Structure 1
């Protein structure tokens, strides 16, 4: 089985949907990606800031698996690094199947998984119909209907599968660059599946 690895890294100092690919990014413990609009100890995503600006930032680093780009291609969408707003593009790692609290060593820097990215309508604004690539019903049928807000009661019971990556906080800082291996350390059982954050 291939070794999980970093395929690409991206960041953006402004609040836009996509991020700009970079040769490397610097992770800062407790803050996120240096120079990225979503770095901070408190929540930085605008919709969440609007609801409660004092909540902790559980979305410091966005990771997505490159295999979702393959799925997108089969559905007629060409995507590149940073297009879906991710900071770290991975390969050969089932990010969505990992439990909450999993530690990922990205070749030195370490992040702790906090939850799933909740796909929103901005994905369809980026590319019309793209939401169906990263959101499907539990029976496997794709959907263009945005997932319930993570602030809504429906988010806990909605029969949807979110495939837009995972969110993490930085436990140990350092440089991350394409090609670095990823080492997975699972938390002590019982394991809690990732949920939208």
Structure 2
């Protein structure tokens, strides 16, 4: 079991996401109010706090959302979960659809330290069961 450390959205693409306390998620859409939402396989992005700590240890000051992740988690090794794995807070169900992604022309973090974790450790999911996510919710890997 893990925990949702932060929920992050942005109204436009290409900017850091800002934390919110709770967010509604919809099937065939993703997070309501987020610029990356839509009817595609990468509706919601997740990144582990432990992965962000790896980058902090390189001397960066990073807040949740700095990698444009929608959900920052703690206690789950997200990058090791296979595609098709489902995660739930007891209401919402997300299904992992992609692990990692290509970096956009070298993001600002990559340019600073020569490394970025999102391409290898960020995961993407689609919404299977809609509802509301809250900062601090437990996040379980479903059997």
TM-score (norm 2): 0.90
Deviations 1:135-155 (A, max 9, x none): 7xxxxxxxxxxx7xxxxxxxx
Q: Which runs of 4+ in 1 moved over 2 A?
A: 121-131
Compared with structure 1, are the counterparts of its residues 120 and 92 closer, same or farther at alpha carbon in structure 2 (3 Å cutoff)?
same
- How much does 1:124 deviate? 3.2
- Is 1:114–1:167's contact at 8 Å kept on the other side of the alignment? yes
1:183 aligns with 2:140: yes
Aligned length: 143
Q: Which residue of 2 aligns with 1:99?
A: 82
Q: Which residue of 2 aligns with 1:125?
A: 108
1:74 aligns with 2:46: no
- Is 1:119–1:134's contact at 8 Å kept on the other side of the alignment? no
Q: Which residue of 1 aligns with 2:45?
A: 62
- Is 1:66–1:90's contact at 8 Å kept on the other side of the alignment? yes
Q: Which residue of 1 aligns with 2:124?
A: 167
Q: Which residue of 1 aligns with 2:13?
A: 15
Q: CA RMSD in A?
A: 1.9
Higher relative contact order (CA 8 A, sep 6+): 2
Q: Which residue of 1 aligns with 2:35?
A: 37
Q: Which residue of 2 aligns with 1:6?
A: 4
From the two aligned structures, give the one with the greater strand fraction: 2
- How much does 1:96 deviate? 0.6
- Is 2:48–2:74's contact at 8 Å kept on the other side of the alignment? yes
1:86 aligns with 2:84: no
- Is 2:109–2:115's contact at 8 Å kept on the other side of the alignment? no
TM-score (norm 1): 0.67
Q: Which residue of 1 aligns with 2:24?
A: 26
Rg comparison, structure with higher value = 1
Secondary structure of 2:111's counterpart equals coil
- How much does 1:172 deviate? 0.8
**Runs of 5+ consecutive residues of structure 1 not aligned to the other structure:** 42-56, 136-146, 148-161, 187-197
